[in-house]
Structure formats: structure tokens, C-alpha cells
Amino acid sequence: MSYNQPGPYGGQPQQPGPYGQPGPYGQQPQAPQPGYLVIGAVAVVAAIAVGAYFLLAGGSGGTSDVADDGPHKLTTPATVLGEYKKSEGSDGGSGFDESDVKEAEKHGVKNAQDVQASYQVEDKNNPLAMKMLNFIGVYGEIEDPEKTVDAMFAEMKKSAAEEPEEGQLVGSPQAYSPSGLDGAILKCQATELKSDSPSSSDTPTGPSEISMPVCIWGDHSTLGIVIHVDMADAMSGKPADLAASAEVAAKLRKEVRVKA
């Protein structure tokens, strides 16, 4: 997925909008639509993460020192973190198909089940006040949580290298232990997606690239991928705040992870 995609439902856009992205139904937008741009970028990163899913138990390294607190499952509440509302229809499918789940089970994730939901904090009077949270999860039996998390990031890096137009991971995954994580593994890494048409003083359509964080937690029964974006920060070109995103991921884990 890239910014030069056809319009919705596969229709060919008549003219590209900002970042090479068409307006709704192929129409040229009359003004920059920052929400549309960042939502598209989130979709790109989520697609890369989903592509890594089937190699959950691959990779090397890791540890089994994460405490096992018994079987848990993942849910997608209507509201999370006090203010994030689930986007309508966002939990109808995860992007994983039946073969992906079977492949994960072959690689050591037993009885795998998956969930997905997108959440927003929206201010219709101020689009730049929007915040978005994309959550992709799997639950079952995970033998080595850190190895699994490391494998996810490794496969994401490989996927990004094969299709650089879809974004690049920056640096390496960083481990975080925010309060409330309860001993699970949590690592975050920044991704950068460049626009096809960098903004200029004459046509200010947004930053030349968007930076956003990807955080992944792992324990013995759940794995969660969290992409959290503050619209104002993304559109100002600020680098991803990994520490703040780790805090969000840890808080989300406490709300969506429940005893099986």
C-alpha cells in the first residue's frame, strides 16, 4: 500500500490529491485533508504489521522469563482510555485470514484467535485535534513472548525493505516498562512514510514525511500491536514519541486483556 493508490472501491482517481492520495470517490479535494492523509499512513503501517503476523514464532533470541498469569483473551470495547471511541465497522475483520491463523499455530502460537479495532478522539471543529489508535491482537498460548515480539519487528523490517515506498522502520525496537505493564514484554519502534509530493510554501499540503510509532506487547497468552497517532504531531512533522506511545500501549493492554 502506498500513497499512490486508486480511489475507494478500486476506482481510478481523476487527479491525485495531497500526498498523491485521491479525494473521496476519486474527487480532487478542495483543501488539504490531514485526517485522510494520516489515516492512510496508519493503514500502511497496519498492513505491514499484519504481513508479519504469520511468522509470530520465528526469529532468534528472546526469553521465557515473562511471568505466566494464566490464560487471557483480547477484547475490543466500545471506548478505551476514557475518550477513544471505536470507529464504526472497524472490528469486522482483522486483516488476518484463516491461513494466517493456521500458519501461526504451526509456528507455536496454539489455539490462535485474532482481534482488531480502530479508535479515534475526534473534534469536528478542529481536525488537527484528532488522535487515532489502531489495535491488532492475537491470543492463545505463546511459549516465548520476547522471541515472538522480536520476530514481529524483524519481519516488519524485512517487509518494509522489500517495498520501501510503503515506509521504513527507523533505528531498532526499544524496550519499555511503563507502570501497569505487569511484567509483559513491550517494545516500540518508529516508522517513517514519505509523501510523493512534499509540501512547499506555495502548496502547503503537509509534511514531507510522517513519523508514527509501532508498539508491540507480548505475554504468554496475548500479543498486541498498537499504532497511536496524534494528528497535530504527525502533520507538524514531529518524530514519533516512543515513550509516550509505550504508556498508551500499556494502558490499552490493561483494558483489552481479560481472563479467558
Question: Is residue 52 a part of any domain in this protein?
Answer: yes
Q: What is the pLDDT of residue 231?
A: 87
User: Angle at CA 3, nearest 5°, toward 25 and 234?
Assistant: 105
- From residue 69, alpha-carbon distances to 15, 162, 165, 175, 230 in Å are 54, 38, 41, 21, 33
**Position 2 in a domain:** no
In a domain, 126, yes or no: yes
Q: How many domains does the chain fold into?
A: 1
User: CA-CA distances (angstroms) from residue 160 to 48, 132, 135, 191, 192?
Assistant: 7, 22, 20, 10, 10
pLDDT, position 10: 34
For the record, the C-alpha cell of 224 comes out as 498486541
**Per-residue model confidence as pLDDT tens for the chain (260 residues):** 333 333 322 333 333 333 333 333 344 333 334 455 566 667 766 666 655 554 444 333 445 578 899 999 999 999 999 999 998 877 655 455 666 666 666 555 677 788 889 999 988 888 788 899 999 888 888 888 898 888 888 878 887 788 776 678 899 999 999 988 999 999 999 988 876 544 334 444 567 888 889 999 999 999 899 999 898 888 888 999 999 999 999 999 999 999 99
* 234 belongs to a structural domain: yes
Query: Is 1 domain-assigned?
Result: no
Q: List 218's β-bridge partners, or say none.
A: 185, 223
* 92 within some domain: yes
Considering the domain boundaries, does residue 3 fall inside one? no
| pLDDT value, residue 209 | 83
Range of the structural domain that residue 30 is part of: 8-259
What does the pLDDT read at residue 107? 52
